[in-house]
């Protein structure tokens, strides 16, 4: 069985989707449509940068979504998947590919989501850090201990693969967990360059704003199983999709478990559409006996 997967924030780079734009007039047309819909020069930011503008959350998220959608629309060897999932904002791409969201609606939601998350980061100062080499239950307990003792928010934000977890919360809470993790002998505890504490309670402002937008967005039942970040299980019910997309902003991304559950369903081949190879790496560190490839550029120029 085959699953399509879609990356989240952090995979962007200046020049993303450039080869598609040069090879296909239809890819350029998708970029121009996005510019018109969002009333921003998203295509210019994607193709030319500068990097510090592209890294702004409100541009990063629609840029990655658009690159993924262009890649899947222009894959000449595309096959019908039996399941799909996306990491954080990639869940919107997965829902679009599964027919639950229209392209235009998903693009506008992702742009709004990025804008709201950036604003939430300004309203509630926060940060994130990657912790490599600690079991999930131990790190979760450590976060709970620090939060209880200090009153500073700190939670697991991304369960990416075995031993690779991202934490999120207030600067003090995150730094305290990093300090204690190092004392416990983790391989790495590194603060990330982000504009807020994503997937933590500090994103509540963004969740509230997104809830309102999702209520007025038409959603239909997905044609194939879409694995939710929040539950790591397929979601079909339309109201559940709405609620889980809101909850996703303040809840951890259960990527490792989502990948394992797709495997249990029978998936043995994963194709990542969009910028970078992050998900391919996470999947191969989580599962054995599977195939994980990616479509980042047209086949003729893929390297």
Of 239, 275, 295, which is closest to residue 89 (Cα–Cα)? 275
Q: In what order do the strands lie in the sheet with 83-86?
A: 226-227, 83-86, 2-6, 269-273, 291-295
* Ramachandran bin of 275, using left for φ above 0, alpha for ψ from -120 to 50, beta for the remaining angles: beta
Catalytic residue among 195, 199, 200, 258: 199
Contact status, residue 49 vs residue 56, Cβ threshold 8 Å: no
Residue 226 main-chain phi, psi, to 5 deg: -115, 120
Contact status, residue 174 vs residue 192, Cβ threshold 8 Å: no
* Ramachandran bin of 201, using left for φ above 0, alpha for ψ from -120 to 50, beta for the remaining angles: alpha
199 is catalytic: yes
Catalytic residue among 11, 43, 88, 124: 88
Q: How far apart are CA 208 and CA 255, in angstroms?
A: 24
Contact status, residue 49 vs residue 14, Cβ threshold 8 Å: yes
Contact status, residue 261 vs residue 283, Cβ threshold 8 Å: no
Q: How far apart are CA 118 and CA 112, in angstroms?
A: 10
Indicate which residues carry an active-site annotation: 88, 199
């Amino acid at each position: 069985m085959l699953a399509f997967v879609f990356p989240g924030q952090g995979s962007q780079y200046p020049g993303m989707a450039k080869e598609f734009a040069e090879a296909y007039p239809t890819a350029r047309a998708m970029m121009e449509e996005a510019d018109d819909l969002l009333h921003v020069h998203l295509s210019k930011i994607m193709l030319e940068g500068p990097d510090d503008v592209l890294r702004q959350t409100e541009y990063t998220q629609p840029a990655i979504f658009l690159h993924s959608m262009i890649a899947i629309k222009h894959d000449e060897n595309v096959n019908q998947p039996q399941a799909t999932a996306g990491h954080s904002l990639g869940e919107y791409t997965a829902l679009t590919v599964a027919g639950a969201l229209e392209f235009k609606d998903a693009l506008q939601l992702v742009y709004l989501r990025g804008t709201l998350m950036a604003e939430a980061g300004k309203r509630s100062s926060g940060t994130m850090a990657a912790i490599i080499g600690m079991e999930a239950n131990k790190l979760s307990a450590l976060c709970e201990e620090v939060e209880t003792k200090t009153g500073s928010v700190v939670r697991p934000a991304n369960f990416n693969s075995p031993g690779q977890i991202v934490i999120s919360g207030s600067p003090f809470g995150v730094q305290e967990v990093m300090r204690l993790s190092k004392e416990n002998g983790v391989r790495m505890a590194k603060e990330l360059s982000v504009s807020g504490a994503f997937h933590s309670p500090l994103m509540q402002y963004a969740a509230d704003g997104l809830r309102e937008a999702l209520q007025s967005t038409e959603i239909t039942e997905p044609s194939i199983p879409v694995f939710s970040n929040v539950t790591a299980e397929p979601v079909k019910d339309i109201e559940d999709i709405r609620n889980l997309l809101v909850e996703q902003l303040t809840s951890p991304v259960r990527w490792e478990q989502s990948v394992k559950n797709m495997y249990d369903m029978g998936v043995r081949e994963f194709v990542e559409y969009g910028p970078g190879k992050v998900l391919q790496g996470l999947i191969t560190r989580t599962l054995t006996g599977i195939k994980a490839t990616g479509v980042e550029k047209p086949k003729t120029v893929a390297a």
